[in-house]
Structure 1
């Protein structure tokens, strides 16, 4: 940390969707309480999609949105995503050309966040990056995440392994902090709904056996992970006695196609339901009530273990991440492999393992520690940083 220069005062925090907002929220709420800081919030991406409208979470949490960077998401092709990304770069650039900030905080690895980072880089704005150093070999999020690391000046990571990786990328160890996952720390504080409360709120009845399914496009796979998802749906179609609850995929190439597959499946299977956006309280409450989480979402790896529930992780999208012992990986989605995984989570041996499972992403006081460090950061206004060579 640079001990020279001035403390940062005016900070822009950018959020692109529900997933990063749930992680940023505890940090934002605590930063807002620091009188010496002037916190501004900018939202973009799926927050402003009509189907999602997760910007309402900010209103619910009494957080003022200062900038709405609305970008039309026209289709789920690579061409459309690149157009979306380039418009984001331009629109964020307009904000940075008019407003002066001391720093910008971003989280994760989404392309809409990367558009803000590139613009900030050209305007020489110091960047604070949360959740860098992780690996997801099946998704374009992987190179985007590491690229954001190279633009960023300060890094908050979830695990010591990821700190080592960021240092390996040439970042100064003094500016890399292991703080854990901010969402995980909040699970214990979240007031979860009971089964009865969920049933009344969403007007349905749980089955004896239930699963929460989230499947995103696998952007580095030739078929975007479509075959794996079709195999999963084919397997689930034979299990009419299961309660199946789907959430929408990320706004990535082929997400429209995956959404259509889900919609078609639900029309043909009365035991299945789709939720556009549950919100964190409802999402965690569902996890607590179901038998397992299925799909390829990072939440299944980083959050679900803290609720002592199994995750059946499908395909290669999350390949490379640290795994708790509650996670079952399936790369070959044959009917037999899927059936074996669903059997395994019901075994006495596996259930016994769940009781004592530990979450590698958990650290106490994650968001508080981030805020403490940010308050101490001093900058001379320069984004210059020598490459840190490993010895």
Structure 2
């Protein structure tokens, strides 16, 4: 009998990463793919990207509404509570043999805690990473402790998951799923993207994505205002913004984006969600990717483009030499953009070695999933009691 594997997705970027694995699960006779969709996917403000999932040919088995109108910390916490109720109903009905969760968002924590209580084994992707500027960092480690099986993107992250007390035999370094998309998804010509989205984008241009900083002493509104001021120093470059994640403080950033775009007709545009193929294509055509998205750290280096990583949200994450890390002052950001536009930076971006693997991740995950049986009770792996290593 096929194993029932439920895949959870609550955000556009997360779905893009999971896409190649979902395709393999859907095609395999050994698995019955179940899809639980929630969070930003169901929100009109963030582009109702559940429609993209269905357009890609996936059947959605459960839609769980959870996002409240408030983007305050209290509102996000209440959204998690709403999600917990919905996820309990969905998992009770679907009863998967395994639940696949990627990453570190609050939606993921809500579904993970429900699965743990209902004794549904969790398969966690991208554990062990560090992002000191967001509470996602704590959420990621919390999901690690709720999960039974772990697929990580680097050897350093495998060691960290084991350090958290997880059994080494249940932690696999498979690389980052996002690199597989880069290798396998055809690019969309810029002319086609302009037609599809009613843009007039032409080179040179910047792609900008900035998310709220939720666990550090960095004022997101002030930092983003400084990014906008720095962009004004490059009037010959057009600007394409994508919306931030639905974290607390996102509404302020969206308002700033919309105000900037209104004041810069013909130079700046904002799109809630580009979609996976268009996003990869725009990154590859852009002069630089600016902001604090994890994509700038993980995927952008494999597309031959320089990323300017602003502020502390991604602090602690491994990155390629092609990523330019800058502070939050206007002068810092301007300097980082200038550096990204140099011939040396462009050459470095074309030859950068990405620490997140070679792009064969979903095959490696599938090989392990085929061998998995429902786990026994978790036993803490105490490094202090292990003689001679074993890691």
- Structure 2 length as normaliser, TM-score? 0.94
Q: Which residue number corresponds to residue 309 of structure 1?
A: 305
Distance 1:133 1:89, change over 3 A: same
Q: 1:201-240, aligned counterparts within 5 Å?
A: 201-222=196-217, 224-240=219-235
Q: Which residue number corresponds to residue 194 of structure 1?
A: 189
SS at match of 2:44: coil
Instruction: Give the alignment partner of residue 318 of structure 2, picking from 318, 322, 347.
Output: 322
Q: Which residue number corresponds to residue 4 of structure 2?
A: 10
- Structure 2 residues not aligned, in runs of 5+: 387-391
Instruction: Give the alignment partner of residue 271 of structure 2, picking from 275, 278, 292.
Output: 275
CA distance in 1, matches of 2:219, 2:114: 29
**Structure 1 residues 298-307 or 217-226, which shifts more?**
217-226
Given that 1:218 and 1:317 are in contact with CA atoms closer than 8 Å, whether structure 2 keeps it comes out as yes
CA distance in 2, matches of 1:65, 1:383: 30
Q: Which residue number corresponds to residue 37 of structure 1?
A: 31
SS at match of 1:188: helix
Q: 1:224-373, aligned counterparts within 5 Å?
A: 224-270=219-265, 271-331=267-327, 333-373=328-368
Given that 1:237 and 1:269 are in contact with CA atoms closer than 8 Å, whether structure 2 keeps it comes out as no
**Structure 1 residues 40-49 or 30-39, which shifts more?**
30-39
CA distance in 2, matches of 1:355, 1:282: 20
Given that 2:306 and 2:322 are in contact with CA atoms closer than 8 Å, whether structure 1 keeps it comes out as yes
Q: 1:207, CA displacement in angstroms?
A: 4.5
| Structure 1 moving runs of 4+ over 4 Å | none
CA distance in 1, matches of 2:269, 2:94: 44
2:380 matches 1:386: yes
Given that 1:240 and 1:269 are in contact with CA atoms closer than 8 Å, whether structure 2 keeps it comes out as no
RMSD: 1.6
Q: 1:234, CA displacement in angstroms?
A: 1.5
Q: Which residue number corresponds to residue 83 of structure 1?
A: 78
CA distance in 2, matches of 1:62, 1:269: 37
Q: Which residue number corresponds to residue 3 of structure 1?
A: none
Q: Which residue number corresponds to residue 4 of structure 1?
A: none
Distance 1:348 1:61, change over 3 A: same
CA distance in 2, matches of 1:248, 1:122: 34
SS at match of 1:316: coil
CA distance in 1, matches of 2:163, 2:65: 36
Q: 1:340, CA displacement in angstroms?
A: 1.8
2:58 matches 1:25: no
Distance 1:160 1:8, change over 3 A: farther
Q: 1:57, CA displacement in angstroms?
A: 1.9
Distance 1:10 1:207, change over 3 A: closer
Given that 2:310 and 2:333 are in contact with CA atoms closer than 8 Å, whether structure 1 keeps it comes out as no
Q: Which residue number corresponds to residue 127 of structure 1?
A: 122
Q: 1:351, CA displacement in angstroms?
A: 2.1
Q: 1:98, CA displacement in angstroms?
A: 4.1
CA distance in 2, matches of 1:150, 1:24: 21
Given that 1:108 and 1:145 are in contact with CA atoms closer than 8 Å, whether structure 2 keeps it comes out as yes
- Structure 1 length as normaliser, TM-score? 0.94
2:47 matches 1:69: no
Distance 1:227 1:172, change over 3 A: same
Given that 2:199 and 2:269 are in contact with CA atoms closer than 8 Å, whether structure 1 keeps it comes out as no
* Count of matched residue positions in the alignment of Structure 1 and Structure 2: 383
